[in-house]
């Protein structure tokens, strides 16, 4: 299936731990994104990469570090997890950064920090 896939789907961890979320797209898109959806369901962009290069870093704490080993993958590593990091994290992709085809989203990773 052509899609944006994220792993894991659920992640429960203790404060202070370091964790990673992985994202892969097989759509041949050049641009990938991480969005955070808070408890009020508001979606806000965190990062965007185009062809492995960072193009958006939206004032996210530097405990969050994205890595794009190739244009089909964008992983998110979070250090020293805090309670406030609990949210659903969505990966998305688009053919180009400013695009006429819109976004395709993954199904989300629900992170719970206890």
Partner 1 sequence: KQEVTQIPAALSVPEGENLVLNCSFTDSAIYNLQWFRQDPGKGLTSLLLIQSSQREQTSGRLNASLDKSSGRSTLYIAASQPGDSATYLCAFTSGTYKYIFGTGTRLKVLA
| Least distance to partner 1, CB of residue 16, Å | 27
The residue within the footprint of partner 1, chosen from 24, 32, 50, 111 (CB under 8 A), is 50
| Of 11-19, 39-47, 60-68, 71-79: span binding partner 1 (CB under 8 A) | 39-47
| Least distance to partner 1, CB of residue 39, Å | 12
Looking at the DSSP bridge assignments, the partners of residue 31 are 50, 94
| Least distance to partner 1, CB of residue 21, Å | 14
Strands 53-57, 73-78: pairing is unpaired
Give SS3 for 77.
strand
Burial 43-74 (b: 16+ CB within 10 A, else e): eeebbbbbeeeeeeeeebeeebebebeebbbb
Element (H, E) at 1: none
Residue 59 binds partner 1, judged by CB under 8 A = no
Contact 92, 104 (CB under 8 A): yes
Residue 100 binds partner 1, judged by CB under 8 A = yes
Query: With respect to partner 1, which residue has the nearer C-beta, 92 or 113?
Result: 92
Tell which positions 74-93 bind partner 1, by CB under 8 A: 90, 92
Residues that bind partner 1 (CB under 8 A): 31, 33, 40-45, 48, 50, 55-56, 58, 90, 92, 97-108, 110
């Amino acid at each position: 299936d052509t899609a944006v896939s994220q792993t894991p789907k659920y992640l429960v961890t203790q404060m202070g731990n370091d964790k990673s979320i992985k994202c892969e797209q097989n759509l041949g898109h050049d641009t990938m994104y991480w969005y955070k959806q808070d408890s009020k369901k508001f979606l806000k962009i965190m990062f965007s990469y185009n062809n492995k290069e960072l193009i958006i870093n939206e004032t996210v704490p530097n405990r969050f570090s994205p890595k794009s080993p190739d244009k089909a993958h964008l992983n998110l590593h979070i250090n020293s997890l805090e309670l406030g990091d609990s949210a659903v994290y969505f990966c998305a992709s688009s053919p180009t950064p400013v695009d006429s085809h819109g976004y395709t989203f993954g199904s989300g990773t629900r992170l719970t920090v206890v």
